Amino acid sequence: MAREIAIHMRGGVITERDPQYCTIRTRIPAGVISPRMLRGLADIAEKYQAPHLHLTTRQTLEIPGMDPGKLGEIAAALDGNGTPIGSERDEVVNVTACPGISRCIFANIDSISLAREIDSRLFGREMPVKIRISISACPNACTSPLLNEIGIVGRIAPVRTPGVCTGCGTCVEYCKEGAISIKKGVSVLDPSRCMQCGTCIRSCPFNLLKSAGEHYLISIGGRRGRHPRVGRELVAVRTPKAVVDIVEFIVQWVYRRAWSGRLLSEQLEDIQFERLRDEIREKVAPSDLYEGN
């Protein structure tokens, strides 16, 4: 029974309204689960008489109606299935990500691999505040990264090769931001309106728009819930390794400086946002920093 109590005290096991039951939330980074693991979860849910499975907003599956007295054997079964007990307390919780470059035509980065790497380094780390991390592979931001404590967006800045544009206007039609116009027979980009989605690059029938290289915009301090808030842009970098290192640095920074009982979004000044940004910029190799707009 001591083992059951210890498991119940961890994040990822939630006492229900009827306290003789608990809900177990699983750890599924980026919400990606194999058919075999999904069948395994269904088998575990059936074996322990769950009324159903529940898809969560953080791309995990949770199993309600579990008997707290059987937590030890259920935890072992979930471990064996590759879908261990997850988290939901003040800790690094399930990392979410959109499908990314392997499937989405708009994607600029491999969001799922990045989510898995961040998960492997940081998942479940106990924190003074809950840390939700979300990744979107383009500025369409399908997973709402700017509304998470740490958000990552994959972007590409377009570069037009001077003198070769035919002025066909295709890129103008594709740009949803009105950032491109045709002047004197050639396309002209307004950087102040460009979201760096990369769509125009893929649209040019003459392949005249080039990529300045993909990069990752990292924001912190967003949140959903009662008082939603958009996170503040922190830094942009060029490699997934730099992203993972920076996210780990942010987590350590917040661990040392944030107060418990308040959301991260309410204490960005207290944790010295500007100093955090300066230290990250000093720490990152200059070749990894993206200095565009």
Residues that bind ligand SF4 (CB under 6 A): 98-99, 104, 106-107, 136-138, 140-142, 158, 160, 165-171, 174-175, 177, 179-180, 187, 189, 194-200, 204, 206, 208-209
For β-strands 133-136 and 22-25, DSSP reports them as unpaired
Query: Please, what is the minimum distance in Å from the beta carbon of residue 45 to ligand SF4?
Result: 28
Query: Please, what is the minimum distance in Å from the beta carbon of residue 30 to ligand SF4?
Result: 11
Closer to ligand SF4 at the Cβ: 85 or 200? 200
Closer to ligand SF4 at the Cβ: 75 or 109? 109
- Residue 197: which residues within 8 A CB-CB, separation 6 or more? 106, 108, 138, 139, 140, 155, 156, 176, 177
Task: Give alpha helix (H) positions in the chain.
Answer: 2-9, 35-47, 71-81, 111-122, 170-174, 199-203, 240-257, 273-283
Nearest to 281 by CA among 238, 246, 232: 246
Closer to ligand SF4 at the Cβ: 62 or 119? 119
Query: Please, what is the minimum distance in Å from the beta carbon of residue 114 to ligand SF4?
Result: 12
- Given a contact cutoff of 8 angstroms between Cβ atoms, the answer to whether 203 and 170 are in contact is yes
Query: Please, what is the minimum distance in Å from the beta carbon of residue 245 to ligand SF4?
Result: 23
Closer to ligand SF4 at the Cβ: 183 or 226? 183
Between CA 86 and CA 60 the distance in angstroms is 8
Closer to ligand SF4 at the Cβ: 81 or 143? 143
- Given a contact cutoff of 8 angstroms between Cβ atoms, the answer to whether 104 and 98 are in contact is yes
Query: Please, what is the minimum distance in Å from the beta carbon of residue 188 to ligand SF4?
Result: 10
